[in-house]
Chain A
Amino acid sequence: MTTNTSPFLLSLRNVHKSFGGNHVLHGLSLDVPAGHVVTLIGASGSGKSTLLRCINLLEPIDDGAILVDGTDISSPGYDANLARRDIGMVFQSYNLFPHMSVLRNITLALKHVAKSDAASSKQAAMDLLSRFGLADKADSYPEQLSGGQQQRVAIIRAVALKPKVLLLDEVTAALDPELVGEVLDLIAELRTTGMTMVLATHEMSFARNIADTVCFLHAGDILEQGPPAEVLDNPRNERTQQFLARTRRS
């Protein structure tokens, strides 16, 4: 186990991932300092979701390393459950547990992973729900909520464990357009608390507003990265230019 000598909270080193013969991630590297927000843009199939799933160890990587606080969590034998405590993840389809109330969705991991007692788990969950305007939904079940509310609960569920980094995978892609705003507002508010985030998105204006760094993914590698003003307004790579031209047309 390496000690913390890395200036970056999250580092990907030459990450490779294949599904059968399909080489999805091609030696991808990325460094994320603490408190930074990185947005991943790119066409469907460019590897954004796979990258996020690999960081969360939901997919084992074939080669390379994933370092969180300087520790290689992808090394064989490293306890994935331990690593995941530091890495929150939110999915496109919310994935709330339908058989549990909003409150229990949030307290589940507090009780069973963080081993908090019932009272303090509930307190922590209620604090977060109140802060994000969902306190009155604590006893509701996911199916009784709108998509936007469900996704906000899913974000709160991930944040409740106080992860070091939060991964957001196209979290607004399944939402009706009028519900996108409330979810993006919540993410923007998390940014002000200094939460380190890596998010895949199709919302270019959001990517521009929230990101410290924008990464353009193509065929499993980062072709271009930099501040939003550079990558989104003055892309140097031809493929980035093509991709952005396509998104502007649509």
Chain B
Amino acid sequence: MPRWDRVKQSFFSGEQFADSFPRLLEAFVLDLKIFAWSVPIILTFGMLVALTRVSRNPALFPIRALCVIYVDVMRGVPVLLWIYLIGFGIPGLGLDRPWNSPLLWGTVALCLTYSSYVSEVFRSGIEGVHESQRAAARSLGLTHLQTLRLVVVPQAVRNVVPPMMNDLVSLQKDVALVSLIGPIEILRQAGIDKAKFANFTPYVVAAVIFLCITVPLTRTADWLMARERRRKGGTRVAT
């Protein structure tokens, strides 16, 4: 590796690492904020879409159809493209502050795309609750809505915690895509540092900071999945 020295200098400079780290950590707070705002919105909206899609009420057919189109369209386009389209498009309408903020609309784009992913996870969870559970609940005189709220949804949520964690890990990373339309979060700040010091180490710093969050999240998801398997799995086959 004849050029290792130069790579080492431009990617793994200890001095540059120490200099960028606090700045990037500070910028990372914005990533965490976007993540924290998005998660409750995504979970709520995703659940609403899922509940609409599994409803059997004929009167809800038009809304059900809209939900299908929404999920197909959002899932079928890369997240980055939605961030560009919504994040540049809507502020382009010339709205007044604070409605012209790319940060706002970038976050909206994230919420809209991830809600569609999450709604599918919830939907599979709801459909995974056995029909006999509904029969038992209805036979006790619970209404359709009570059955959903008390019997079906709690079991569905429990079933989908592990795959949901995986989606949230992806979301945590995809928050950085919002940087591409302007807000100065960690990836953007790393780019600024790189340009300023002509050194790539800030990117490595950003990667390390991301890993500090995503690795524990992933491990937790794996652990939850393993626990779920043990709970449901019965006796393990040796080989």
Contact = CB atoms under 8 A, between A and B. Distances in A.
Q: Do A and B come from one complex?
A: yes
B158 A99 contact: yes
Contacts of A158: 139-140
Contacts of B141: 81-82, 84-85, 109, 113, 161
B135 A58 contact: yes
A99 B231 CA distance: 12
10 contacts: A56-B139, A80-B138, A81-B141, A81-B143, A93-B132, A97-B155, A108-B140, A109-B142, A112-B150, A143-B231
A95 interface: yes
A113 B132 contact: no
B151 interface: yes
B9 interface: no
Interface residues of B, number: 18
Contacts of B142: 81, 108-109, 112-113
Interface residues of A, number: 27
Interface string A42-62: 000000000001001010000
B220 interface: no
Contacts of A113: 140-142, 146
A161 to B, nearest CB: 7
B136 interface: yes
Interface in A15-48: none
Contacts of B133: 95, 97
B40 interface: no
| Interface SS, B side | helix
Interface of A: 53, 56, 58, 80-82, 84-85, 87-89, 91, 93, 95-99, 108-109, 112-113, 143, 154, 157-158, 161
A240 to B, nearest CB: 30
B154 interface: yes
A99 B154 contact: yes
Contacts of B155: 97-99
Contact of A109 (B140, B154, B231): B140
- Return the 4 tightest CB-CB contacts between A and B, nearest first: A95-B136, A109-B140, A89-B139, A113-B141
Contacts of A95: 132-133, 135-136
Interface in B119-143: 132-133, 135-143
A28 B233 CA distance: 43
Contacts of B135: 53, 58, 91, 95
A112 B151 contact: no
Contacts of A99: 154-155, 158
A131 B167 CA distance: 48
A111 to B, nearest CB: 9
Given A91-B132, A112-B146, A97 B139 contact: no
Contacts of A56: 139
A29 to B, nearest CB: 23
B138 to A, nearest CB: 6
